């Protein structure tokens, strides 16, 4: 039985209490992930880690927007299609594309647009893997003579990229926003794919939804490791329908202590 771990956005900004967008519970999630890797090195045949990575002037960061008085939105401000049409919030960059993005995101029906604290800035400490996980990955690599695979997402500043397989609103002119078929093919080589990481309410849920929608061949292989992922505070409800759909399609859910037992 060949097993792959898909570890989503387990970075300092999400997983350290001093991180820019700390997810409560994530620090403990990382400890459990690292313990799982160290205890089952011979059973894990492939590890993919994803890295949320942004520019300062990102559509989901405050400096991208202002109101008619020149004020930037505060983190966790929601910006709707009505807000951009009435100029309550005005994009400072690529206005036509930004306004279309807000409407297209709403039409998709999964998320409305939120402003986040600046996080996982390219080259920053916050964008790095949490040290506890990183050391476990190094241990696994040395024991197995295999390298883990690291995949960046989110560098295109005009779309959120919650799910790891494509941007929330792909741009046909920007390849990195399109469906990552190479990653799907890579994961399809394995009989079981264990998913964990941050945040359960957003990037993990969106990645799961993208598998359900665009890679049905992976669905029978999926196992969500439930005690290795946590919600953004107060926003867990956003992903309820995704997890309900996954359960209806027989995706398995288990705690880390049951993996390989």
Question: Residue 213's pLDDT band (boundaries 50, 70, 90)?
Answer: very high
DSSP states of 77-100:
-EE-HHHHHTTSSEESSSHHHHHH
Residue 159 reports pLDDT greater than 70 = yes
The token pair at 181 is 């078929």
Question: All domains of the chain, ordered by start, with CATH?
Answer: 3-56+119-258 (3.40.50.850), 62-114 (no CATH)
The token pair at 13 is 């900004």
Cβ-Cβ contacts under 8 Å for 231 (sequence gap 6 or more): 23, 25, 199, 200, 201, 239
pLDDT of res. 157: 97
pLDDT in tens, 166-209: 999 999 899 999 999 999 999 999 999 999 999 999 999 999 99
Q: Cβ distance 107 to 82 under 8 Å?
A: no
pLDDT in tens, 13-58: 999 999 999 999 999 999 999 999 999 999 999 999 999 999 999 9
pLDDT of res. 1: 64
Longest dimension (CA), the chain: 60
Whole-angstrom distance, CA of residue 238 vs CA of residue 246: 14
pLDDT of res. 216: 97
Mean pLDDT in the chain?
96
* Helix H or strand E segment including 6: strand 3-8
The residue-averaged pLDDT of 80-86 equals: 97
Whole-angstrom distance, CA of residue 149 vs CA of residue 207: 17
Residue 110 reports pLDDT greater than 90 = no
């Amino acid at each position: 039985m060949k097993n792959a771990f898909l570890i989503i956005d387990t970075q300092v900004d999400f997983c350290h209490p001093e991180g820019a967008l700390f997810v409560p519970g994530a620090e403990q999630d990382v400890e459990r992930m690292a313990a799982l890797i160290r205890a089952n090195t011979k059973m894990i045949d492939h590890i993919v880690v994803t890295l949320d990575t942004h520019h300062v002037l990102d559509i989901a960061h405050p400096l991208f927007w202002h109101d008619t008085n020149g004020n930037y939105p505060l983190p966790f401000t929601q910006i709707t299609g009505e807000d951009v049409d009435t100029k309550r919030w005005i994009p400072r960059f690529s206005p036509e594309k930004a306004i279309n993005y807000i409407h297209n995101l709403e039409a998709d029906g999964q998320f409305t647009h939120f402003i986040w604290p600046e996080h996982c800035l390219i080259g920053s400490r916050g964008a790095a893997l949490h040290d506890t996980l990183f050391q476990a990955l190094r241990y696994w690599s040395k024991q197995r003579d295999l390298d883990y695979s690291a995949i960046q997402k989110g560098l295109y500043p005009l779309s959120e990229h919650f799910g790891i397989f494509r941007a929330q609103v792909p741009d046909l002119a920007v390849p990195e926003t399109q469906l990552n078929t190479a990653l799907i093919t890579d994961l399809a080589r394995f009989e079981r794919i264990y998913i964990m990481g941050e945040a359960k309410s957003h990037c993990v849920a969106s990645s799961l939804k993208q598998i359900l929608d665009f890679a049905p061949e992976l669905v029978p292989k999926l196992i969500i490791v439930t005690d290795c992922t946590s919600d953004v505070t107060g926003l867990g409800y956003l992903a309820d329908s995704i997890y309900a759909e996954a359960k209806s399609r027989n995706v398995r859910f288990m705690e880390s202590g049951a993996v390989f037992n």
